[in-house]
Structure 1
Amino acid sequence: METRAFDTYVEKSGQALVRDSVACLQMNLGFVCNLSCAHCHVEAGPHRHEKMSRAVVDDCLRFVEREGVRVVDITGGAPEMNPHLRYLILELGKIASVETILLRSNLVILDEPEYASLPEFLLQNNVDIIASMPCYLEENVTAQRGRGVYEASIRILQRLNRVGFGGEGPKLHLVYNPGGGVLPGPQPALEAAYKENLGKAFGIAFNSLYTITNIPIGRFGLDLANQGRLDAYRKLLADNFNPDNLKKVMCRNMISVDWQGYVYDCDFNHVLQLPLDVPRGHIGDLTGGELIGKPVITGEHCFACTAGAGSSCQGSLN
């Protein structure tokens, strides 16, 4: 399969993949993390040191206010480990256009004493949590994320419920990633299974489940290659290309900024170092008008977002 074969599929569909708006800014606060998960496309972990500086945070805040961005999606690594996280959230709360602040968490970071007060802070500042929970079964979570992670995740989910997440207030969403080179099952059915199992066993409530297709890059791609399954997985994704998903993919209305302030169509392009096709690629220099109508930079990895029911940072597209 050719590296740029995805473009051929788009052309055959009779569509163009371009940015329609900049409604969402996804900020990757760095690669530092307390875990080294098998499916992590950015290869985050305790050995990493990259963190977004206060200066780049301020560049992002100016962009959000100037361009009227409605959604800010904060990710990492473990974004909680960036020392400027609280400052960022407080400043976002002052910007009139911002309707939603999302924080992507691995949950277990909140079990560490240094971050124990974050749930209350996030609740008070109306931050929705998108929490990684690869499965409701302990053995599957252990396989992806290591020993002890499942028990810690359950403790934190119960605590988030006690604080006030998962009901009518700030939202608590969970994320499911398949454990291997397969497509996720139907999101509604998986959500029902999660709610039934976590509710009965632990009394845990959450708002929605997001099913996200694993991208064959980073640790996940390397693991598939070591098993001799990478080509088969890439073929699976291409064989399940669904042109209807091109109208809904996240890169149509968002941009992703890395820890240094450089801007990409998505976090996956960031990892693959596929920058925006604009003269000035830093968040401090860009305007939204330069990005509207621009073609999205694509590659073979884009099949993961368009396969089957589709995949985005907020789950299935169908």
Structure 2
Amino acid sequence: MKSLHTQQHPLADLRYQLNVLTHAEAAGSHLPPFAAKLRETDLLPLRPTGLTVMQINVGKMCNQTCHHCHVDAGPDRTEIMTRATMQQCLNALAQTDIPVVDLTGGAPEMNPDFRWFVEQISALGRSIIVRCNLTIIVANKKYHDLPEFFAQHRVRVVSSLPCYTAANTNKQRGEGVFERSIRALQMLNAVGYGVADTGLVLDLVFNPGGASLPGPQAALEVDYKRQLMQDYGIVFNNLLTITNLPINRFLEFLLESGKYELYMEKLVTAYNPAAAANVMCRSTLSVGWDGQLYDCDFNQQLDLLVEASAPRHIQDFNQVALESRAVVINQHCYGCTAGAGSSCGGATV
């Protein structure tokens, strides 16, 4: 089966890649289902509440090929952010007081200019999040010092660990991933990450292995902390729960397993107005590897640029215009508004 980034799945064409809605279209009388749901709860058009996070995808290359990956990342991906585009991001940041820069991929550390970029962002006095897949730390000797590098720049490390058991994690992320992740976590702990009073924050991310919503975030965190300490002596700060959105590889799984309609019905039924009010696209700007601008990382993977009234490339950054835009929505947005909500920062309510 070909990946969706090379060939659109025909069922996805019919059932899913529909109903993209801009602010101008929202004025019409006939609204797609998600837009109608927002209108019922007085949230249409969905607009930013401020810009507090710039999330930057520095490339889709990754040392893993996870089954649930909405980026469709892997070793064969060649999309990579250049230093010139990174400089445009830095120029934009220098115009603002955006406090947080969130670096993602792929495995962001595989970008050859990754460390330079972190150093430059740090010099601007911004807080940095790196979404590390953990296994990159032990994948090659040139990455073994990443924990020390992260600590030097006070980077907040956010890492996916779908389960505290090897069987469930390896099923989702690949054979041997759990064991390598444990080694990487122990290396991070050794330099102070997750340890009380160090200020070095280590957060883990849970996402379900199948077509279901995450369980309660607080309860899962208790379980994770107990089991990882008991079995491996590992400590961390927070557990973040993220709902699998029906995009790319997870969409392929839903369609091929015949679970697409069931999963979408589950998301629609679980729509929560409080979660919708706190979606991350209201406070985050997503920058693609080529500098194009999106409302969120999920829209980025669907090539849904910010609406035309706002700048669409980081070189044209204008904070006032971007904070005045209406968010571009689609049916996948039900994933961020279901139950306790979902964002790159975990549950939203």
Same fold (TM over 0.5): yes
The gaps in structure 1 that reach 5 residues or longer are none
1:166 touches 1:207 (CA, 8 Å); kept in 2? yes
Letter in 2 for 1:105: C
- How many residue pairs end up in the alignment? 316
Q: Give distance in 1, aligned partners of 2:189 and 2:232.
A: 11
Q: Structure 2: which amino acid aligns with 1:181?
A: A
- Alpha-carbon offset, residue 113 of structure 1: 1.2
Aligned residue number for residue 43 of structure 1: 72
Distance 2:321 2:109 in 1: 31
1:293 equivalent to 2:293? Answer no
Cα distance in 1 for residues equivalent to 2:214 and 2:176: 24
> d(CA) in 2 for partners of 1:55 and 1:69?
20
Pairwise CA distance, 1:15: 2.2
Structure 1, 285-294 or 260-269: larger mean CA deviation: 285-294
The yes-or-no answer on 1:233 pairing with 2:263 is yes
Aligned equivalent of 1:129? 157
Structure 2 matches for 1:102-251, cutoff 5 A? Answer: 102-111=129-138, 112-167=140-195, 168=197, 169-251=199-281
Which of 289, 301, 315 pairs up with 1:284?
315
Large movers: runs of 4+ above 4 Å: none
- Offset of residue 224 of structure 1: 1.1
What is the aligned partner in structure 1 of residue 108 from structure 2? 79
The one-letter amino acid paired with 1:152 is: R
Instruction: Report SS of the residue matched to 1:67.
Output: coil
Aligned pairs (5 A) from 1:264-283: 264-278=294-308, 280-283=311-314
For structure 2, the 5+ residue unaligned runs are: 1-14, 20-31
Q: Secondary structure at the match of 1:214?
A: coil
Identity %: 44
Instruction: Give how far 1:20 is off.
Output: 1.7
Give TM-score scaled by structure 1 length.
Answer: 0.97
For residues 160-206 of structure 1, give each alpha carbon's deviation from its aligned partner in whole angstroms, at most 9, with x where no partner exists: 00111002322000000100000000000000000000000000000
The answer on whether the counterparts of 1:67 and 1:287 sit within 8 Å (CA) in structure 2 is no
Match of 1:27 in 2: 56
Alignment check: 8 A CA contact 1:7 1:298 kept: yes
Counterpart residue type for residue 210 of structure 1: L
- The aligned counterpart of 2:29 is none
Q: Secondary structure at the match of 1:284?
A: helix
- C-alpha separation between the residues in 2 aligned to 1:278 and 1:290? 11
Computed over aligned residues only, the root mean square deviation of the Cα atoms, in angstroms, reads: 1.1
Give the drift of 1:278.
Answer: 3.1
What TM-score does the superposition give when structure 2 sets the normalisation length? 0.89
**Partner Cα separation in structure 2 for residue 7 and residue 274 of structure 1:** 16
Report if the CA contact (8 A) 1:5-1:299 is conserved: no
